[in-house]
Chain A
Amino acid sequence: MSQLSRRTFLTLTGGLAAAWALPIDTVARALDRPVAPGDVQTTLVATIRKAGQSGYVKLVPAPGEPYLTRVDLLGREATPARAKTRRSLVYLGHMSDLHVIDAQSPARLDTMAGVDPVLFSGNFRPQELMQVQILTGLVQALNDAASSPVTGAPLAFVVNTGDSADQRSQQELRWYIDTLDGAKITANTGKPGEYEGVQVWPECDFAYHPEDPSNDVWGRENGYPAIPGLVKSAISNPVDSPGLSVPWYAVYGNHDANYFGGWPTGWMTNELATGSRKAALPSATERMFGSGLGSTSPFEKLFIGSIANRGFASGTRHVTPDPNRKIMSLMDFISEHLNSPPTPGPVGHGFSQADVDNEITYWAKDVTPFVTLVGLNTCNITVGAGGSIPQDQFDWLKAQLVKARAANKLVILATHHTSFTLDNVAQPVIGPQQNLIVADEFISMLHEFPNMVAWMNGHTHLNRITGHANPNGVGGFWEISSASCVDFSQQGRVTEIVDNRDGTISIFTTVLDHAAPAQANYNDLSQSGLGSISRELAANDVYWDTDSLLGSVIDRNCELLLPAPFDMAKISDQIVAKSQAEQRVRLLAAGGATQ
């Protein structure tokens, strides 16, 4: 805390100790300790790779990947001296596409994998029972990375860029929020202690049956192993999530806003989701939709549904109904985020009660005195998986950027969709319409604001980094897309913005594996053991191009340079030190790293 005067240091220490109910000498010692790069378990230290190149392969630890310096937006080599002069401005975590799945829900379209496993590769996944375990592992990894591997700066917050629930289920949403907040979760619905679904029903040969996969496509054709006890352990054993040690923020993904990521909920009513018939065969899924259960029309439901209920039950199975499986509304998504404790906070995770009242689905927060985080809702609820930005939200964003620029604040943008997938201009047939902004116009507007330096997103399940150069070729902003939590490589990121004090800033982005060990042991069905098994099953999913999901080395651990967007001296050392002292004490109170 050399940037603070002794008097300021003492005042700050006393204030923070009182605010967090910590002994003043503990706080003083923590803040007085020299800041150094954290000893953090990231992919800088070790990566996870396949043990072979063909057939079903195990995963093994592999060497770490150092930072690659990228100067695409600087237009020249970076100065070597910057490593000695830089100071941290903000250090954050990023997770995306969590896809928490209630695999037993009758609303799930898992049977469609039996029609075409490539086309419907997202409808059934062999690892889909273990999403709460995976997410808990990522929470642990982010907590372990509480001190930056570059400067030692404290983790300030985590942003989640959407697709938190897989099929717009309220139960899936609740599990994800509880996991990030910290809780013990038994990831089961329906009958307590019993799994009722496609992974134990023998007629579902499109699904992986861990007890005995010899008769399904996964075991028979792709060498998936028998793992007795996996299903029971996944749904019966409580998952103990420590919760994130820092505040976290969330935005909508298309799976949170649209049914199965692409359709309005009218196509799937709560009657099916909370009912007692689940399709086991593709033909049954088609019949259930055809019977009117997937219709919004009361007439069709009454007339067609009544016929169907008497004669179209073949190919379905009885499951224990569960009202918690209800399909959430757009505002339920915000309300559930408001149903959250003050720590790690903030309550609402970006959203507020006023947003529910006014049906506003985007937000802006000053996460430090010199950084504004903006969360947009890029989902098109009319139809489709792709995104766009409605005119009113676009105008609001522009106003936020103007405000931040005038106050010399850096802006970090969080959305679900990437620049490659902001392409959905579908308009409702009935009801109000407004102009929808797609990628080119959106990027062009962002270029007006040099203080808009980083755009975090997901959606594609790929690690990807894209430099968006200003029209003159120099400057612009970096788009950083994170892999998913469900498909291989099940990773997140930590990202730090530093001022190099040479007229440039750097964005260090570092990929994180979730905390479960690289090598799976089929006899270890603990929370962590299931995490390792899940990653291995995902890595072998032949219906996904798993090798490309890692991204290129130019998309993973990188130092991304930019010309400084304004005179960075306008952000004083003192205000940075004070902000980071607050973050360090918050971590101390949460039991996290404090250096």
Chain B
Amino acid sequence: MITIARTLAGAAVVVVGLAGCAYTNGVLPHGGIQPDIYDAVGDILVEKSVPVKTYPECTLESEGKTQTCVGETLTGQQIQATGDQSDKAMPFTITIGGQPFYTGSATDVLKQNASVS
């Protein structure tokens, strides 16, 4: 009984710690979405002065690997971004009206924007 109780309690310790963390349980489970690609797409659209009607919202596809983000410009063109959140660099591309607009690393974009140039 003691062994079982301790085993269960030990397991509980692990889960308690996990559950208590707003980051691991709050940020990541945005449907499993890492925020970096969404952030980088928004930053690039503003940096490049794209007139946006709807900023892209992202969803996760490909078994938790690929993010697809869809928005719209003020002229009615679709903004589409795709990125790979399983890769540490989080490579992503943005197309506007089906035309290539930007390719880069979300990690690099965020690193750059969090620091002084």
Chain A residues proximal to chain B, CB less than 8 Å: 49-53, 57, 60, 62, 68, 70-72, 75-77, 97, 109, 112, 115, 119-123, 163, 167, 254-255, 258-263, 267, 285-287, 289-292, 294-295, 300, 304, 307, 383-386, 418, 420-421, 423, 459-462, 464, 466-467, 469, 484, 487, 544-548, 550-555
Contacts and interface: CB of A to CB of B under 8 A. Distances in A.
Interface of B: 2, 5-7, 9-10, 12-27, 29-31, 34-36, 38-43, 45-47, 52-55, 57, 74, 107, 110-116
A70 B114 CA distance: 22
Contacts of A263: 12, 15-16, 19-20
A79 B31 CA distance: 36
A278 to B, nearest CB: 15
Contacts of B5: 290, 292, 295, 300, 304
Nearest to A383: B19
A385 B110 contact: no
A121 B19 contact: no
A112 B13 contact: yes
Given A462-B35, A545-B36, 18 more contacts: A70-B55, A72-B53, A112-B13, A120-B18, A122-B21, A258-B20, A263-B19, A285-B13, A292-B5, A295-B5, A304-B5, A460-B23, A461-B26, A461-B27, A547-B113, A550-B114, A552-B39, A553-B113
A262 B20 contact: yes
B56 to A, nearest CB: 9
A260 B24 CA distance: 13
A49 B112 CA distance: 10
11 contacts: A50-B115, A51-B116, A60-B116, A75-B53, A123-B20, A258-B19, A258-B20, A294-B13, A551-B35, A552-B41, A553-B46
What does DSSP make chain A's interface, helix, strand, loop or mixed?
loop
A122 B114 contact: no
Given A267-B12, A290-B9, A385 B115 contact: no
A292 B34 CA distance: 38
Contact of A385 (B7, B19, B47): B19
A551 B23 CA distance: 14
A97 B10 contact: no
B114 A546 contact: yes
Contact of B111 (A53, A260, A383): A53
Contacts of A290: 5-7, 9-10
A304 B5 CA distance: 9
B20 A459 contact: no
Given A50-B114, A420-B31, A547-B110, A554 B17 contact: no
In this complex, which of A52, A75, A163, A261 has the most chain B Cβ atoms within 10 angstroms of its Cβ? A261
Contact of B26 (A51, A71, A258, A385): A385
A548 B39 contact: yes
